[in-house]
Amino acid sequence: MVKNLLSGQAYDMTETDFDVVATLSEGYSGADMRSLCQEAAYGPIRELGDMLENIVMDKVHDVPLIF
């Protein structure tokens, strides 16, 4: 199911990783698995957002004040 949900997406998971996810998610519903994959997909986006926010906040201090 995870492979199906991630089809068309870039991911770096081995067969062992898929086996671990399958074991840890035993008893999850299809909706649970979709949410799990969706949250996992947002991880890199959130990380990128945090990096961009830090860069922007660092540069804000370099902007001259308006008088």
> What pTM was estimated for this model as a whole?
0.61
Question: Cα angle vertex 55, ends 53, 61, to 5°?
Answer: 105
At 11 the pLDDT is 82
Domain segments of the chain: what residues?
A: 2-60
Residue 34: which residues within 8 A CB-CB, separation 6 or more?
A: 5
The whole-number mean pLDDT for each consecutive block of 10 residues of the chain, a chain of 67 residues, reads: 85 91 94 89 78 67 53
At 67 the pLDDT is 45
At 60 the pLDDT is 56
At 57 the pLDDT is 63
